Amino acid sequence: MSASHGTTPCGRANPSATSGDFGRMFPNPAPRKATGLPLALKYGAPGGIADGGPTSDGQLSPEIPAGFTFLGQFIDHDLTLDVLSVLGGRFEPGDITDFRTPRLDMDSVYGGGPVVSRHLYDGSPQGKLAINPNGVDFARIDSDVARIGDPRNDENMLLAQLHLQMIKFHNHVTDLLAQGTITDAFGRRLPPKPADEPPTQQPGATLDQLLDVDNYYEALYASARQLVQWHYQWIILHEFLPNFVDPAILRDIVDNGPRFFDPGEKPFMPIEFSAAGFRAFHSTIRSTYRINEKFSGKLFPDNPDAPALPRTDLRGGPVLPEHAIDWRFFFDVSRSFRPQTTRRIQGSINTQLLDLPVSAVPGAKPGALARPVASLAVRNLLRSEALGLPSGQDIARAIGDVPLSDAELGTGEPMYLWYYILREAEVRNRGRHFGPVGSRIIGETLVALLRATPSSYHQVYPTWQPTLGETPGRFEMADLLYLAGALKD
């Protein structure tokens, strides 16, 4: 295929956009002509073109560990939350607010910090995040609502358990900093904690002396949060993206910079990413997962009205110790144990995702979720029309690539961008990683937003390398899980 680069100008947001707005990476290609519900059902309904049936061995990736699907979902929820656009409407991206920051800053974990988002924290002066006393679940309020920064991260148990490891990672890094076992991101050890302030007026004390304990705790929290964020960002760039993005394209993006996405001074979320590119990860979701030696389950129950307890599936909600994830089944953490892998990226998703329960559809109400729009594929396709996404063929031309042929797509019509990205990965790379369009959209968005995040290591300390891994200068999910206490020595 052509290696030439397109002449489409870099994407820009609405001129009046805030840093939480959506925009277009490719502003020039016209929206694909809307075809409405009938064609969306032809592709996305149970039994339709995109129905991949139950996951078979032949559909599995030969190498990508299954946990990366849910790391991708965690990253997505770190960047984007659209609660305003609705199916069947028509919206300009700049008219929609992104209720997450388009920055890789883990705001779904930290919220606004211990003062603004007190419900996320355990109340300790060290600024630790709250967890359930059983150690395997979120802290919850009486109605079992999780005390986390984004309720979507409790929609399925696998994502919830991964979010929990991020919380534990922060808490352990906090302990290590306080103990003097590790340094901050700049190689400095925190000074010992001063003695607690006495209950007296302390006549003659300077302001620094009066604030020394408070300043210590502020520095401890800020240092722990910075270390956690930077190691998370490192994983995205050095482990997550290499698993899914075409290696030559990723190299070009990292070495030469993004060619089609410039977040500008007020970063925005490209709809090509949020409504198509990252939704292509739905194809990597398996029908069933092995959770630990004694428990396996489907992501959702076969009967959408099935009770949540006793647990037989992987819906979100309270987790008991017997259902806690053994992470050996999800990431490459042991030389003697091979994890289960993702589903290949292909022009279908597993059939269970075509009939979602109410609990899996944000904002859905019991009795109001019609079965035709309970399909994740149908919802993806209708949403792409509501936001006026171009066709996949037009985006391929915009980046200078030769579009898939009618025979490769199975149609002569302009194709939904979401489905085009799936078929492109299947046709070009046998589903092992994304093709040119998918790789450009996903790779450029994440690299550009990482570089545009004010608190990122790229902005603050560009030559920084991770310090918490087993090997200096290297850090992977296995290291994070170990520091979170999820792996045995």
How far is residue 31's CA from residue 293's CA, in Å, rounded to a whole number? 49
The overall average pLDDT reported for the chain is: 92
Q: What does the pLDDT read at residue 2?
A: 35
For the chain, the 3-state helix, strand and coil shares in percent, each to the nearest 5, are 45, 10, 50
436 to 281, 389, 439: CA distances (angstroms)? 15, 17, 5
pLDDT at 1: 39
Whether the CB-CB separation of 332 and 151 falls below 8 Å is answered with no
- Tell me how far apart the alpha carbons of residues 436 and 241 are, in angstroms, rounded to a whole number: 14
Question: What share of the chain has pLDDT > 70, as a percent?
Answer: 95
Single-letter residue type at 267: P
- pLDDT for 35 equals 96
Residue 169 has pLDDT above 70, yes or no: yes
Question: What SS3 class is residue 425?
Answer: helix
Alpha carbon distance 333, 165 (integer Å): 15
Across the beta sheet with 22-24, the strand order is 12-13, 22-24, 269-270
Q: Which of 65-79, 176-190, 260-274 has the lowest mean pLDDT?
A: 260-274
Query: Tens digits of per-residue pLDDT, 341-351?
Result: 999 999 999 99
Query: Can you count the helices (H) and strands (E) in the chain?
Result: 16, 7
Decide if 379 contacts 87 (C-beta within 8 A).
yes
pLDDT at residue 13, rounded to an integer: 39
Task: Give yes or no for a contact between 153 and 160, defined as CB atoms under 8 angstroms apart.
Answer: yes
Residue 260 scores a pLDDT above 70: yes
Q: Which of 382, 376, 427, 388 is nearest to 406 (CA)?
A: 427
211-259 tens-digit pLDDT: 889 999 999 999 999 999 999 999 999 999 999 999 999 999 999 999 9
**Omega before 93 cis (within 30°)?**
no
Buried b vs exposed e over 323-347: b needs ≥16 C-beta within 10 Å? Answer: bbbbbbbbbbbeeeeebbbbbbbbb
**What pLDDT sits at residue 218?**
97
Runs of H (alpha helix) within 2-126: 36-44, 67-79, 107-110, 113-116
What's residue 8's pLDDT?
39
pLDDT at 11 over 70: no
Q: Enter the tokens of residue 81.
A: 């939350």
The answer to whether the beta carbons of residues 381 and 419 sit under 8 Å apart is yes
Write down the pTM of the prediction. 0.93
Q: Which of 164-168, 315-319, 389-393 has the lowest mean pLDDT?
A: 315-319
DSSP H or E stretch at residue 297: strand 295-298
The model's pLDDT over 38-57, given as tens digits with 9 standing for 90+, comes to 999 999 999 999 999 999 99
Nearest to 157 by CA among 320, 371, 336: 320
Query: What value does the mean pLDDT take over residues 393-403?
Result: 98
Q: How confident is the model at residue 14 (pLDDT cuts 50, 70, 90)?
A: very low
Q: How confident is the model at residue 290 (pLDDT cuts 50, 70, 90)?
A: very high
Q: What is the pLDDT of residue 84?
A: 63
Whole-number Å distance between alpha carbons of 123 and 117: 11
Q: What is the pLDDT of residue 156?
A: 93
Give pLDDT tens digits for 441-477.
999 999 999 999 999 999 999 999 999 999 999 999 9
Question: What is the rounded end-to-end Cα distance, in angstroms, of the chain?
Answer: 47
Going by pLDDT thresholds of 50, 70 and 90, the confidence category of residue 19 is: very low
**Residue 20 confidence class, pLDDT cut points 50, 70, 90:** low
- What are the tokens at 427? 């046709």
